[in-house]
Chains A and B, each alone.
Chain A
Amino acid sequence: MKIFRLSLMATAAAATLALPTIASARLWLLPSETMFAGNGDEWVTVDFANSTDLFYFDHPAPQMEPVIFAPDGTQVQAENKGKGRFRATFDIHLTQKGTYKVAAISNAVFGSYTLNGEEKRLPRGTTAETLAQAIPAGATDVKTTVMAGRVETFLTAGEPTNTVFKATGEGLEMVPVTHPNDLIAGEKATFQFLLNGKPAANLPVVAIPGGVRYRGDLKQVDARTDAEGKVTFTWSDAGMYWISVTTAPPRPAPAAEGAPRPEPAPRPPRIDSYAATFEVLGS
């Protein structure tokens, strides 16, 4: 893995890649609720969808299969899985006490190569594991970007616990300073972001409350991680929030009237992103 990635960086570093633009739609997991009594026999249902406005179903349902981590660190199976046009849905039987994590983890490779003088795109669905097969022998000018992402949400039965936050050291991860199932409107909450296990400093973080369809203001809060990778939000209202962090370079500012369109920034060899849905409760 490691060696492979290094070589990818070398080939892609100098090139501006012709890739599909990052979709403006947002990927999210939405649990029916996040706090449970912890009596060992409770259920939650979770929607998994992709949309521009939060949290409405208006894009084709994602293809990924989320994984569920129980408070004891083991993985548990989703129940009653179903998929509609606009959303995937599943239930989780909460039999343990503590905090569960639901995570949709992706690791896609986008890019192109030249074969017999013709530029070809990598097929959709290429991953780091299948990349070698996706590039035919004799291909030259291989340009790739790994898009690694995590989309998460958290559920707590009884008292919040921290087992599921143990970082893997791969990609962008969130380590709570304030537990994500202990968020109250008007109070401060701090989260630390790690990139490959190290503090992810100076990255843009956005927080957007759901329900935008019924208000005029998006109410997006923009923040930036500090040297320790930490960011602090004060929640203005109770509700479900979508939080997102990315290492993607910012989009260039739009050109002035009459000026030539700015060159897009070169696509880096790897883009990591993290998003999570948090429930903020009223006081």
Chain B
Amino acid sequence: MQIRHSLILTGIAAVGAGAAPSALAETLDLTVTLPRMTVAEYHPPYVAIWLEKEGSPARTLSVWYDVDKPKNAGTKWLRDIRLWWRVSGRSMQFPADGVSGATRGPGTHKVSIPAGKLGNGAYTLVIEASREAGGREAVRVPFTVSGGKGSGKAAGTSELGAVALTVKP
């Protein structure tokens, strides 16, 4: 994961070479809590994280699923991340470089996602979790980017806990 991200960063930086540092891509630091469930059968959820901006197509940032299953079999259940599947997933190919990642268990996860150049304006980060033999929940985090900076937070009630994000140049 981390290696792939840094590769992409390099790529974007190359495109923006020569510009002032503030014109380079932003990074989205995200903290996501996956709640610990007291259930007999627990499987880490499939999670999709994407960015919405009015007038632009949804942009998938990360998808956590069973990437290690043989024959790409983990992709079969991606459509159960239903909102994401409709706005973005069904038009993508998996595995997707810089996007595919392994599932994560309960706890608080910090991820740093290269977000490309985010212009000023209102955005919504959406995170949707869908758990085998469990439920599904999407949390929307509205935030505003101004001069390459922004932040927002929200929280889920069932499949997702607190979600916080910071955008930094």
Chain A interface (Cβ < 8 Å from any Cβ of B):
35-39, 42, 156, 158-160, 182, 184, 281-283
Whether B76 and A35, one on each chain, are in contact in the complex, defined by CB atoms closer than 8 angstroms, is no
Whether A159 and B90, one on each chain, are in contact in the complex, defined by CB atoms closer than 8 angstroms, is yes
User: Is B42 located at the chain interface by the 8 A CB criterion?
Assistant: no
A184, B138: Cα distance in complex, Å: 15
Whether B82 and A282, one on each chain, are in contact in the complex, defined by CB atoms closer than 8 angstroms, is yes
User: Is B4 located at the chain interface by the 8 A CB criterion?
Assistant: no
Whether A182 and B91, one on each chain, are in contact in the complex, defined by CB atoms closer than 8 angstroms, is no
Q: Mark B102-142, 1 if CB is under 8 A from A, else 0.
A: 00000000000000000000000000000000000000000
Say whether chain A's binding surface is mostly helix, strand, loop, or mixed.
loop
Q: Which residues of A contact B91 (CB under 8 A)?
A: 158-159
B78 to A, closest residue via Cβ: A37
Partner of A158, one of B72, B77, B90: B90
Partner of B90, one of A38, A42, A283: A38
A158, B75: Cα distance in complex, Å: 11
Q: Which residues of A contact B53 (CB under 8 A)?
A: none
A37, B84: Cα distance in complex, Å: 13
Min C-beta distance of B164 to chain A, whole Å = 24
Whether A281 and B82, one on each chain, are in contact in the complex, defined by CB atoms closer than 8 angstroms, is yes
Q: Which residues of A contact B77 (CB under 8 A)?
A: 37
On whether A35 and B85 interact (CB within 8 A), knowing A158-B90, A159-B90, A159-B91, the answer reads yes
Whether B83 and A283, one on each chain, are in contact in the complex, defined by CB atoms closer than 8 angstroms, is yes
Q: Which residues of B contact A42 (CB under 8 A)?
A: 76
Whether B75 and A39, one on each chain, are in contact in the complex, defined by CB atoms closer than 8 angstroms, is yes
A182 to B, closest residue via Cβ: B86
On whether A37 and B79 interact (CB within 8 A), knowing A158-B90, A159-B90, A159-B91, the answer reads yes
A24, B49: Cα distance in complex, Å: 48
Q: Which residues of A contact B82 (CB under 8 A)?
A: 281-282
Residue of B78, B79, B83, B85 most packed against chain A (CB within 10 A): B79
Whether B79 and A36, one on each chain, are in contact in the complex, defined by CB atoms closer than 8 angstroms, is yes
Whether A39 and B86, one on each chain, are in contact in the complex, defined by CB atoms closer than 8 angstroms, is no
A283, B82: Cα distance in complex, Å: 8
Q: Which residues of B contact A159 (CB under 8 A)?
A: 90-91
A281, B138: Cα distance in complex, Å: 14
A158, B78: Cα distance in complex, Å: 10
A283, B76: Cα distance in complex, Å: 20
Whether A37 and B76, one on each chain, are in contact in the complex, defined by CB atoms closer than 8 angstroms, is yes
- Contact residues, B57-92 vs A (CB, 8 A): 72, 75-79, 82-83, 85-86, 90-91
Q: Which residues of B contact A281 (CB under 8 A)?
A: 82, 86
A132, B82: Cα distance in complex, Å: 53
Q: Which residues of A contact B79 (CB under 8 A)?
A: 35-37
Residue of B76, B78, B91 most packed against chain A (CB within 10 A): B76
Whether A184 and B86, one on each chain, are in contact in the complex, defined by CB atoms closer than 8 angstroms, is yes
